């Protein structure tokens, strides 16, 4: 089993012993290693496959520039840009099957860029003295990155840090061996949602789309799920997007750490992927439930979803800001865009009679969205709730029309997909 190659990256001038130990653990299990040095000042005591000079050049700079900057932060950002670019190149060329990066806070800063440059599905591990720390911004974490604490190893090898390093080495090699590349047999639909207690359209939509010959991936819109969704959407990985839970946009807008970052609701638009969008749970801002109450949301109703997540209910002004943020992002879309606006409510808790229902706030949001909706987006105002059967039927009607028009690639490369009963597909 020597067919998997792992990129081992770090500052080989100061952490050669630790990095060499990781490489030896991978080799002892039959894996191959490709080493990358991201040092600046010193030279590694062992040969490396990718030198610091190559790394700096991949980032559009030189080691001399990094050294002459006289600033370790500036220097490491030069190396981070180069390491990310070089790792992405190695992956595209098929020379690596996974990556592991070792570092303290400085090395972890670089590791976040390197792992974010690798595609979703490529095993990526960070061994860090600040693993799981609040120092790490959620928006910089690769959607499928794995992390382990580098315990007791800041200055040299010992039995404590060997345990962490060996586990990480085995984990990345095992992941590379076990990884199953995404299937290309059926076109992939990307859908966003929350759990069924809040949003339920995927329960009926998923089997309908699968019966039409498509594969469906539903992403949990709680920050990292949205990041994974946006990453794949921006790469053009989806035949069509059903982005029906855009709550992360409001989370980002109001400063929550439960965020998919500033690029939420832009990936499909940038890649020209046909997208059907609905503002599921737009009225809620999720925050970390176990932290002290945020004074910014004082006076707002809240819902404790569990011990991890608390949701604050936006007031009318907040809802209008979220509507405008949707419009601003959708205006940049290059592909077909339809907005489904369920005027009966966009989450189970805001139904009439529901615990978080605000009729005036919902009306203000819908009114603002209708006014702000950009010309490149086709707005469908629906007289139903997002969890009603009528919403799912409206989404399928749009999708089926696009398939018949050839705007969505067919599972067979043609427009001859059929309905579940075997009859020729017709618009709903």
188-404 to CATH, choices 3.30.1490.20, 3.90.1150.10, 2.40.128.20, 3.40.50.12030: 3.40.50.12030
Cα 39 to chain centroid, rounded: 29
- Please report which helix (H) or strand (E) contains residue 359, including its range: helix 359-372
3-state helix, strand, coil in the chain (%, to 5): 40, 15, 45
Which of 225, 212, 219 has the alpha carbon at shortest distance from 396? 212
Q: Is 195 exposed, middle or buried (0-12, 13-18, 19+ CB in 10 A)?
A: exposed
Say whether 235 sits in a helix, a strand or coil.
Answer: coil
Cα 167 to chain centroid, rounded: 26
What are the pLDDT tens digits along the chain (428 aa)? 458 999 999 999 999 999 999 999 999 999 999 999 999 999 999 999 999 999 999 999 999 999 999 899 999 999 999 999 999 999 999 999 999 999 999 999 999 999 999 998 899 999 999 998 888 887 788 889 999 999 887 778 899 999 999 999 999 999 999 988 776 789 999 999 998 989 999 999 999 999 999 999 999 999 889 988 998 999 899 999 999 999 999 999 999 988 888 999 999 999 999 999 999 999 999 998 888 888 889 889 888 888 889 999 999 999 999 999 999 999 999 999 999 999 999 999 998 888 889 999 999 999 999 999 999 999 999 999 999 999 999 999 999 999 999 999 888 644 444 444 433 443 33
What whole-number distance in Å separates Cα of residue 103 and Cα of residue 131?
10
The rounded radius of gyration (Å) of the Cα atoms in the chain is: 24
Phi and psi torsions of 424, nearest 5°: -60, 140
Span(s) in the chain for CATH 3.40.50.12020: 5-178
Contact 117, 82 (CB under 8 A): no
CATH of domain 5-178: 3.40.50.12020
Span(s) in the chain for CATH 3.40.50.12030: 188-404
């Amino acid at each position: 089993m020597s067919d998997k190659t792992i990129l081992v990256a770090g500052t080989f001038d100061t952490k050669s012993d630790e990095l060499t130990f990781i490489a030896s653990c991978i080799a002892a299990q039959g894996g191959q290693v490709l080493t990358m040095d991201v040092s600046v000042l010193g030279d590694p005591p062992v040969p490396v496959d990718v030198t610091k000079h190559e790394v700096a050049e991949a980032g559009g700079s030189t080691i001399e520039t990094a050294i002459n900057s006289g600033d370790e932060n500036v220097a490491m950002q030069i190396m981070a840009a180069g390491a990310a670019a070089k790792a992405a190149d190695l992956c595209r060329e098929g020379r690596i099957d996974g990556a592991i990066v070792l570092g303290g806070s400085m090395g972890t800063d670089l590791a976040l860029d390197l792992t974010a440059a690798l595609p979703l599905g490529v095993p990526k591990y960070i061994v860090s003295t600040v693993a799981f720390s609040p120092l790490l911004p959620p928006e910089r974490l690769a959607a499928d990155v794995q992390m382990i604490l580098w315990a007791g190893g800041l200055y040299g090898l010992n039995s404590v840090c060997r345990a962490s390093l060996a586990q990480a080495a085995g984990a990345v090699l095992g992941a590379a061996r076990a990884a199953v590349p995404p299937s290309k047999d059926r076109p992939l639909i990307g859908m966003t949602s929350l759990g069924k207690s809040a949003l339920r359209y995927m329960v009926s939509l998923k089997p309908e789309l699968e019966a039409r010959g498509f594969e469906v991936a539903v992403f949990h819109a709680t920050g990292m799920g949205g990041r994974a969704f946006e990453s794949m959407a921006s790469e053009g990985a989806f035949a069509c997007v059903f982005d029906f839970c855009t709550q992360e946009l409001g989370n980002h807008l109001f400063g929550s750490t439960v965020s998919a970052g500033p690029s939420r609701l832009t990936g499909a638009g940038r890649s020209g992927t046909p997208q059907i969008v609905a503002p599921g749970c737009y009225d809620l801002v999720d925050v970390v439930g176990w932290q002290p109450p945020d004074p910014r949301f004082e006076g707002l109703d809240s819902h404790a979803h569990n011990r991890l997540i608390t949701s604050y209910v936006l007031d009318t002004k907040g809802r209008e800001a979220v509507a405008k943020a949707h419009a601003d992002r959708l205006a940049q879309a290059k592909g077909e865009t339809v907005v489904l606006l369920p005027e009966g409510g966009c989450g189970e808790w805001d139904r009439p009679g529901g615990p978080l229902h605000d009729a005036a706030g919902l009306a203000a949001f819908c009114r603002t969205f209708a006014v702000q909706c950009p010309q490149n987006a086709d707005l469908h105002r629906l007289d139903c709730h997002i969890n009603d059967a009528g919403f799912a039927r409206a989404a399928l009607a749009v999708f089926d029309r696009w398939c018949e028009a050839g705007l969505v690639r067919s599972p067979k490369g043609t427009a001859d997909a059929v309905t579940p009963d075997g009859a020729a597909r017709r618009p709903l």
